[in-house]
Amino acid sequence: MAEDIEVTILGQRFRIAAGEASPAYLQQLAGYVDERLRAVASTSKAMPLNRMAILAALNIADDLFKLRQHYEHTARLLDAKAEQLIALVQAQLAEA
């Protein structure tokens, strides 16, 4: 059975099912969410919690999309370099 883990976000404690994740990983995730919520909260003292949560979620989604774009760009570069290397090896083998 999955262990429940207690995390703290914006001073509030939450018990969540760990599932396959380690407690340390879940604490790390909660810390990241807490950090992003606090960053949004620092921009306005009177912002409702649901608005802060939505803005933090958008910031986190932005992080994810930028990382995906970077990953896809890097993967395309690696594929192109691998094709170049294969062509060079094939050319050298054909000359031998």
Enclosing domain of residue 33: 4-95
Provide the domain count of the chain: 1
Non-local CB neighbours of 4 within 8 Å, separated by 6+ positions: 15, 16, 17, 18
Rounded Cα distance between 38 and 42, Å, is 6
pLDDT in tens, the chain (96 residues): 568 999 999 999 999 998 899 999 999 999 999 999 999 999 887 889 999 999 999 999 999 999 999 999 999 999 999 999 999 999 999 987
CB 22 within 8 A of CB 12: no
pTM > 0.75: yes or no: yes
